[in-house]
Amino acid sequence: MTLAMLLMALGMGFFGSPHCLGMCGGIVTAFGLSMQNLTQSKKTMLMLTYHFGRLCSYAFLGLVAGLIGTTVLQPILVNNNLPRVLIGAVLIVVGLSMLGLPFLNHLEKMGGQLWQKMSPIRQKVFPIDSFGKALMAGLLWGFLPCGLVYGALLMAVVGHDTVSGAMLMFVFGLGTLPMLIATQTTVLALQQRIKRFRLRQANGVIMVLSGFAVIFLPMAMHAMHGHDHSMHTSAQHAQMSHENHADMNHSQMNHDGMNHDSMSHSHSHEQHRPTASAPQHTGHHH
Residue 231 within any structural domain of the chain: no
> Side chain identity at 67, as an amino acid letter?
L
pLDDT of residue 116: 78
Q: How far apart are CA 47 and CA 123, in angstroms?
A: 18
| Domain-located, residue 216 | no
User: For residues 262, 264, 267 and 269, what is the CA-based torsion angle, rounded to 10 degrees?
Assistant: -70
pLDDT at 90: 82
Measured CA distances, 83 to 16, 47, 75, 152, 179 (Å)? 21, 36, 12, 14, 29
User: What's the confidence (pLDDT) of residue 226?
Assistant: 58
Judge whether 37 lies within some domain: yes
Measured distance CA(37)–CA(55) in Å, rounded: 26
d(CA 256, CA 286): 65
> What is the predicted pLDDT for the residue at 280?
46
Residues spanned by the domain of 177: 3-83+101-201
Contacts of 98 (CB under 8 A, 6+ apart): 16, 18, 19, 148, 200, 201, 203, 204, 207
Residue 49's pLDDT is what?
94
In a domain? residue 152: yes
Tally of structural domains, the chain: 1
Q: Is 245 left (phi over 0), alpha (psi -120 to 50) or beta?
A: alpha
pLDDT given at position 178: 84
Q: Is residue 212 a part of any domain in this protein? A: no
Which segments in the chain show pLDDT lower than 50? 260, 262-286
In a domain, 8, yes or no: yes
For residue 65, being part of any structural domain is answered with yes
Considering the domain boundaries, does residue 221 fall inside one?
A: no
Quote the pLDDT of residue 180. 83
